[in-house]
Amino acid sequence: MSKLWQKNSADTQSDIAKKVEAFTVGNDYELDQELVPYDVNASKVHAAALEKAGILTESELAKLKNGLSDILSLWEKGEFEITVQDEDMHTAIENHLVEKLGDLGKKIHTGRSRNDQVLTAMRLYEKDRLKDVISAAGQCTNELLKFAKAGETVPMPGFTHTRKAMLSSVALWAGGFAEMLKMQGDASSGVLSLVDRSPLGSAAGFGTTIDIDRDFEAEKLGFAKPLVCSTTSQLSRGWVELQYVQYLCGLTAVLNRLAADIIQYSGEISPYFTLDDAVCTGSSIMPQKKNPDLAELIRGRHSANIGHAATLQSLTMNLNSGYHRDLQLTKEPVLKAVRNTLESLAACTLLVKSVSINKEELQKACSAELFAAEEAYKLVKEDGMSFRDAYRKIKESSGGADIDPHQKLKESTHLGSTGNPGLERI
């Protein structure tokens, strides 16, 4: 099978050529298996644009579409092979069409380049996976809200600097994480606006003399609009992907902190929650151990996403305009970050389901120091004292009497307080 760029005289059999091929192709041919449906879809639309431009006849278009549908069927059965020799899915798809349709198969590449092909497939993939990510984030948010609702009347210490600070509640604790996920979900419109522009028809980044209707291609592929300047396509490659992965990092950052809290609050020192055995493991040497492995790995997966973002940032740094082979390496961090984020969200949903509330331990943990600020406020309200004087008086006192945390929950009524976490508004 020939490569799309290969000339007849190209030496592909020498030891040097094979080593160069292995290095330049890398694992691209394996990564592309996930993108085949998007490239096939884009090829069908491009073929329709070629027919519209008078390059293909109606009959040729029908044959090419059928050939592309056959490839998709093979892919769905796991029978569409992309080899190192192919380099990528684009070559494998075109070679398959040539094998089945002869010279007609060679016409599919008219007016396009592998540059706009891969970018179109990636942007279609990114749009699709963004929907999946937002859906998974919504499921995790809902699970947190259920947990919060179950703990709406359960007092809990609130911490600053890892020290007890003021009275909180299970609902306020879980509601904060739920709202963070919801906020990041709402922010998806920004990253969607970046990926929702079609690069197809920009070819190698300078357009072609073939009269391709790029608005037609964008509409048929479900994009909001085309990237206007052909040069924008290659300039945006990696730049958009970086912001896409940084957006995913925003989600896993929330999961990271949630997991860290669950690890702390389900341990022996502050046993506020209990984790189901299903999300924990034991030790090969210590019989008593019950380790929060799922939570720890959710926490750690965020580091992997940061690494993917850092890779993209480094790859696109100091590149002048136009295409560079470095940009081939922007594909893998995106695919891995998407997979990592979806898996982390699914794992976190399971983790939250596995947490039960230890009401007695939480009650004991709500000791007198949590109410110091409230005691100062009491002096302000009842004795007309300035807050600064009240603050000093409470600070100098030896400690207050026992206070019922449940009663204090009822006294906090403003939106977002311990007694009114506002879960229904999230």
User: Any idea which residues carry the catalytic annotation?
Assistant: 161, 283
DSSP state of 109: G
* Length of the chain (residues): 426
Strand 197-198 versus strand 225-226 pairing type = parallel
What's the sign of the alpha-carbon dihedral 137, 138, 141, 142?
A: negative
CA 153 to centroid of chain Cα atoms: 34
Token pair of 111 as six digits:
């007016």
Token pair of 8 as six digits:
């007849």
Q: What angle do CA 21, 22, 25 make, to 5 degrees?
A: 75
φ, ψ dihedrals at 391, nearest 5°: -60, -50
d(CA 208, CA 178): 49
Contacts of 175 (CB under 8 A, 6+ apart): 144, 145, 148, 421, 422, 423, 426
Strand 355-357 versus strand 163-169 pairing type = unpaired
d(CA 353, CA 140): 10
Q: What angle do CA 275, 276, 281 make, to 5 degrees?
A: 90
Token pair of 187 as six digits:
């922010």
Contact 116, 233 (CB under 8 A): yes
DSSP state of 321: S
Q: Is 167 exposed, middle or buried (0-12, 13-18, 19+ CB in 10 A)?
A: buried
